[in-house]
Amino acid sequence: KQEVTQIPAALSVPEGENLVLNCSFTDSAIYNLQWFRQDPGKGLTSLLLIQSSQREQTSGRLNASLDKSSGRSTLYIAASQPGDSATYLCAVENFNKFYFGSGTKLNVKP
């Protein structure tokens, strides 16, 4: 059974710092990996999708990488801003099912 782990569970950084969020998964036979952002009391917003054949995707200040063989993905956030404060979730797709990590709760201090 696929298990997804996200480290750290929580992170507090001053504004302007570059930071890395980690996601690991146990079964490398994935089709896609998707990063989401969730604000308190809200739904999930898709940030980046990496297909299994790709190694990275970029959107603005966000860069996500995927290493299928080692079962890892990282989300890099450049020049963090207070508006980036949220919980970040990664999800992997195996055979029609999506498995989510528990998330990293990010707080960017002004």
CB 18 to other proteins: min, Å: 26
Which residues bind to other proteins, rule: CB under 8 A?
Answer: 31-32, 34, 36, 41-46, 49, 89, 91, 93, 95-103
Report the amino acid identity of residue 82: P
Please say which residue, 45 or 81, places its beta carbon nearer to other proteins.
Answer: 45
Nearest to 37 by CA among 72, 87, 110, 81: 87
3-class state of residue 38 by DSSP: strand
CB 77 to other proteins: min, Å: 20
Please say which residue, 9 or 20, places its beta carbon nearer to other proteins.
Answer: 9
**Contact present, 104 and 9 (Cβ < 8 Å):** yes
